[in-house]
């Protein structure tokens, strides 16, 4: 009888120490779609909706984090982004900027996860602006 109890105790202890897929999900990446947006001019009335999708492990899953991330633009004079992930030209400059979605997790092994995409605002070639075909 003691042998059975010791065996069950050892099995239970081993199961508690082994990480399982039933443990808390962990965010490992953020993918933003579309990956790039091109605006044909610096008109602030133009806009595009961005979506931030979080990639999780344990178990694997994909979740929409668009309204949970913090959005930012590298060059706010070229394009801006609001808290809902809507980006638009700032109306003052042309050029290319990176838009970043950042999410802070509770995971001590990597608690800030980011995803990036690019926005191009076309303008007159005389002002050294990029000129390309706008996104549909």
Tell me the pTM: 0.76
Q: Is 6 exposed, middle or buried (0-12, 13-18, 19+ CB in 10 A)?
A: exposed
pLDDT, tens digit (0-9, with 9 covering 90-100), for 69-116: 999 999 999 999 999 999 999 988 899 999 999 999 877 766 899 999
Displacement of CA 67 from its chain's centroid (Å): 11
Reading the block at residue 124, the tokens are: 């007159």
pLDDT, tens digit (0-9, with 9 covering 90-100), for 34-49: 999 999 999 999 999 9
Residue 25 — pLDDT band, cuts 50, 70, 90? confident
Domains of the chain: 21-127 (2.60.40.10)
């Amino acid at each position: 009888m003691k042998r059975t109890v010791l065996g069950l105790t050892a099995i239970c202890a081993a199961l508690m120490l082994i990480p399982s897929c039933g443990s808390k999900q962990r965010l490992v990446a953020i993918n933003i779609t579309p990956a790039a947006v091109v605006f044909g001019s610096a008109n602030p009335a133009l806009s595009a909706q961005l979506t931030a999708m979080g990639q999780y492990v344990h178990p694997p899953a994909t979740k929409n984090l668009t309204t949970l991330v913090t959005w930012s633009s590298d060059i706010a004079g070229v394009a801006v982004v609001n808290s809902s992930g809507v980006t638009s030209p700032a109306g003052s400059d042309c050029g290319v900027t990176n838009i970043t979605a950042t999410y802070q997790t509770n995971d001590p092994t990597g608690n800030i996860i980011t995803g990036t995409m690019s926005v191009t605002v076309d303008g007159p070639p005389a002002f050294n602006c990029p000129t390309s075909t706008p996104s549909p």
